[in-house]
């Protein structure tokens, strides 16, 4: 039986920057503490939402190391170590294993658009060097590369590949993954608007952007479902849908960076090619945050 890294909510945490664009570790630490205080089950560092693709190699390693040390075993830490360069992903995975990250998040290689055989060989090479569980990450809208169910089933045979973050948005595809891989393989929603549907297929939880701003409520969606209160879970999912949509009205993490800045976690600063949120979108997002009880 493979080890489940976490069940419930893993926050795909932002990497706060200061006004000059440097990593703001003070804000990062406060955000990590607040997330754990509010009940999240895992912190996912230096992923898409954490702007891992524009952190330098040194920054990427430092952000994960800081997160591991700040969390200090309170919840698991999953490190984003995937890359379009398999050799670099191997190097980063080795480092994050050594410094105490609890699991790795491996995005499909972007831009290269590998074949399914290439995906199998690449993920296998990374998992072979990992001493910690590896969670695959399928997000074809960003990478141009779709990890097909049969490929996932083949990769699931690897003892260190324990699950997948599914952000394809294709519920039929996700159902096929669940059918092929069975109970010994963990599926996490990668989309906040599909938490309940994926839980209904046996999913273990969500790797969430929404949890950056509403951690308790995101946890409640999962916990209600796990406790058998499915209608309550679905009701909260639908209630939060306008806010979820606002958090994705521009490419992630543009909106959530604006939201977290408004809450006092770093500056509203991103690295090019990402730019700050359009003013009309930001005003709507902040209004929806206030409607949901967030003080901004």
How do residues 149-163 score in pLDDT, each as one tens digit?
Answer: 999 999 999 999 999
What's this model's pTM, rounded to 2 decimal places?
0.97
Q: What is the mean pLDDT of residues 125-138?
A: 98
* Cross-strand pairs, 136: 106, 164
Residue with tokens 């509403």: 214
Tokens found for residue 263 = 């809450």
Query: What pLDDT band is residue 17 in, cutting at 50, 70 and 90?
Result: very high
Q: Give me the pLDDT at residue 2, please.
A: 81
Q: Does the pLDDT of residue 1 top 90, yes or no?
A: no
Catalytic residues: 137, 165
Contact 84, 25 (CB under 8 A): no
Interval 172-207: pLDDT, tens: 999 999 999 999 999 999 999 999 999 999 999 999
Per residue in 247-287, pLDDT tens?
999 999 999 999 999 999 999 999 999 999 999 999 999 99
Q: Domain 8-228 is in which class?
A: alpha beta
Residues 80, 52 contacting (CB under 8 angstroms) = yes
Q: What is the largest CA-CA distance in the chain?
A: 50
Q: Cα–Cα distance between 83 and 143 in angstroms, integer?
A: 10
Tens digit of each residue's pLDDT (9 = 90 or more) over 27-66 = 999 999 999 999 999 999 999 999 999 999 999 999 999 9
């Amino acid at each position: 039986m493979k080890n489940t890294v976490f069940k419930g909510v893993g926050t795909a945490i932002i990497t706060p920057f200061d006004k000059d664009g440097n990593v703001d570790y003070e804000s990062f630490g406060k955000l990590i503490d607040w997330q754990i205080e509010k009940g999240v089950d895992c912190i996912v560092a230096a992923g898409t939402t954490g702007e891992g693709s524009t952190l330098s190699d040194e920054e990427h390693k430092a952000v994960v190391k800081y997160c591991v040390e700040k969390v200090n075993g309170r919840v698991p830490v999953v490190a984003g170590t995937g890359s379009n360069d398999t050799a670099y992903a191997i190097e980063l995975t080795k480092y994050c294993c050594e410094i105490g990250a609890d699991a790795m998040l491996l995005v499909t290689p972007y831009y290269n658009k590998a074949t399914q055989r290439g995906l199998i060989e690449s993920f296998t090479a990374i998992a072979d060097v990992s001493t910690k569980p590896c969670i695959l990450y399928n997000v074809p809208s960003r990478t141009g590369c779709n990890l097909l169910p049969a490929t996932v089933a083949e990769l699931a045979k690897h003892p260190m590949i324990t699950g997948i973050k599914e952000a394809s948005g294709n519920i039929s595809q996700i159902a096929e993954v669940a059918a092929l891989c069975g109970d010994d393989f963990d599926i996490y929603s990668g989309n906040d608007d599909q938490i309940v549907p994926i839980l209904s297929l046996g999913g273990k939880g969500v790797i969430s952007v929404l949890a950056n701003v509403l951690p308790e409520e995101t946890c409640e969606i999962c916990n209600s479902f796990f406790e058998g209160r499915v209608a309550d879970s679905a009701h909260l999912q639908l209630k939060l849908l306008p806010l979820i949509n606002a958090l994705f009205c521009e490419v992630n993490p543009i909106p959530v960076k604006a939201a977290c800045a408004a809450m006092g976690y770093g500056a509203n600063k991103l690295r090019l090619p990402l730019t700050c949120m359009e003013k009309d979108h930001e005003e709507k997002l902040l209004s929806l945050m206030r409607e949901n009880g967030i003080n901004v």
